[in-house]
Chains A and B, each alone.
Chain A
Amino acid sequence: MSTAYQIIVCGSVVPDPLQTLEPITGPALKNEMMLPAVLDPWAAHALFEAANLAKTAPGSKVWLVSLGPKAKLQQVMMTVAQKAPFELVALDGSASGFTEAADVAAALADAIKTIPGLDMARLLVFGGWESASRGAGVTMQIVGELLGIVNQFQGVDQLTIGADGSLEILERIEGGKHQISKCVGPPAVLGWATGNLPEPPNNPQIGMTNMRAIMPALQKAKPAKIGAGGIKFTSVSLPKQQRQTKIVKDASDDEIAKELVEWNTNG
């Protein structure tokens, strides 16, 4: 018997990792609104895994619940929409890494609760195990708590559905290993690491279908009040250690090898 899952992926936007970032008072990022953005990479993996699962479990549906500045969301959705079929639930608010994860989680959980026909027996809540902004790995657990889900997994690289509908989950643990857990079935929260799927190629047809619903979803995006109440940042600074790189151009392979072995052996 196959379950038709309701798969809800939580994922926001972050500055393109190829950009140079600089903190300013606030704290915030210099030129934050000008920086090109991408879907948060680990959340993107969660989305690809969700779409893949939905394909193999007929009747399943994927939602992407995304909180960010509306204009940024719109920009990022132009590409993301071409990757996999989903319905967008948009929330208009700050995507800064310096905001409070608990505020973000509360807004996400509220948005999830408003999805019509939400059924805990079919619900899988996905997200990235850490964002590329706050990088905390806190939001998904709080979303789970607010939805009353106590079967939660983080650093997930694999989800396999058993013949009995059980979920076999591989989570990253210390020392390059995975813990294997079995959960009887939904509801569950899964914070994904890289998973096993490559990024799907752009599919303009999926993009067109998605965009028809994405534009209205963006228009009716509710404002979400996201702050950092209770946190006081004493300082935010770039690392000081810019190294004086010594460039060795004309040494022989023998000399380099000897130097490397000595360097590794000493100290």
Chain B
Amino acid sequence: METILVLVHTEADGSLAKSAREALRAARTLNKAIAGSSLVVGLVGENVQSAANSISASPVMKYFGMTGADFGQSRYSTDAAAAEAICKAANATIVVAPATSRWARVLPGVAQRLGGRADTHVTGVSDADGKPSINRWYYRQRMEAVLTRTQRPWFMLIDPGSQTACDCGAGTATVEMVAVNLSDACKRTTVVGIREPKADQQTIRPDAKLLFVAGAGWTKKQSDGKTHTDDAAKIILEFLNKSKASLGGSKSVVDLSGEGQAVLPFMTHLNQIGQTGATPRHPKGLSTCCHGEEPHAVGWRFVSERRAVNLDPNCGWARGKADVLYVADAFEVMRKVNALLAGKK
């Protein structure tokens, strides 16, 4: 009989992120499909009561908690100890967790400790004849597999944004606290802070409707034989400010920035989309001055509607990678777009 444990951690303010509710929804799908299975929740954080309360209208049979200052930080050693203890207390055979940076760091190691297996970047769960199965992508989003496993416990890390969040309401949950002894080795690491761009310079907006991608073309010589990178930076920033889009970049443009050239100063490796970059989820994406080569385009797997502006009618986007390719000068088009957006305000 499967015991499905939804393992979540709280955010800094004690709440649960949307990705936690998405994991809960995925777990509930399995719970409904697998006859005789039970659904339990494990919470890790400095304090977990309000998080447990916030989902307590869900059909969860039991709540386990690991709390204290040590569990308020995202740290492998203590998170591993907490997750291991909760999985044992719950006798979990399937562990469904959001693939946050915190859980992605630690849960594969916890699976190893428990003699189980972990699958990450899970984009779907279903049942095949009463057996749980998952969808995940291989070779950087080039091919999708559906698979099932015999090993238990089986950890499934659900990609944030891939599921509908469970909308179960709040109430009062009874949380059974689990304890663990932390060795000295567990405290050799301390989280000292978060480094983030200033609010007005933050160009990565995971919840934005639009992903705006700038390619290396913005930094290349234009029809007058000159580069116009200052103009490019101004146009792009103005568009981001007005549209609140999230900024992505191709490897070429990001590498240029990394090599200390005064190109697009706000562009870092964190903006990179593709094979060795991110694969963000946005309903729409607009590519500008980017060729749309395969190692770039694989990062667009989860961008639903795609449009591109490129001077080259034979660029990669033309070959079935975008819905619409505008053969045009992105400098001119985006200037006009900015003007239209300014007029709308």
Residues of chain B touching chain A, judged by Cβ–Cβ distance below 8 Å, are 74-77, 80, 100-102, 104-106, 108-109, 111-113, 117-121, 128, 133, 137-151, 160, 185-186, 188-197, 202-206, 209-210, 243, 255, 258-259, 269-272, 275-277, 283-284, 286, 293-295, 298, 301, 305-307, 309, 313, 317-329, 332-337, 339-341, 344
Contacts and interface: CB of A to CB of B under 8 A. Distances in A.
A245 B319 contact: yes
A181 B325 contact: no
Contacts, number: 269
B323 A248 contact: no
A212 interface: no
Nearest to B206: A175
Interface stretch (A51-59, A95-103, A202-210, A218-226): A95-103
B138 A230 contact: no
Contacts of A234: 128, 133, 145-148
Contact of A184 (B188, B205, B286, B325): B188
Contacts of B106: 141, 152
28 contacts: A18-B293, A135-B140, A136-B120, A141-B108, A145-B113, A146-B112, A151-B76, A152-B77, A173-B74, A173-B194, A174-B206, A175-B202, A178-B194, A179-B101, A179-B194, A181-B191, A193-B269, A198-B259, A233-B147, A234-B133, A234-B146, A236-B138, A238-B143, A247-B325, A247-B327, A253-B333, A257-B334, A263-B305
A141 B101 contact: no
Contacts of B188: 151, 183-185
Given A100-B117, A150-B80, A248-B325, A182 B143 contact: no
Contacts of A31: none
A42 B276 contact: yes
Contacts of B102: 173
Interface stretch (A5-13, A20-28, A67-75, A82-90): A20-28
B173 to A, nearest CB: 25
Contacts of A154: 101, 104-105
Contacts of B194: 173, 177-180
Contact of B144 (A198, A232, A236): A236
A32 to B, nearest CB: 11
A230 B307 contact: no
Interface in A162-188: 168, 170-185
Contacts of B322: 243, 245
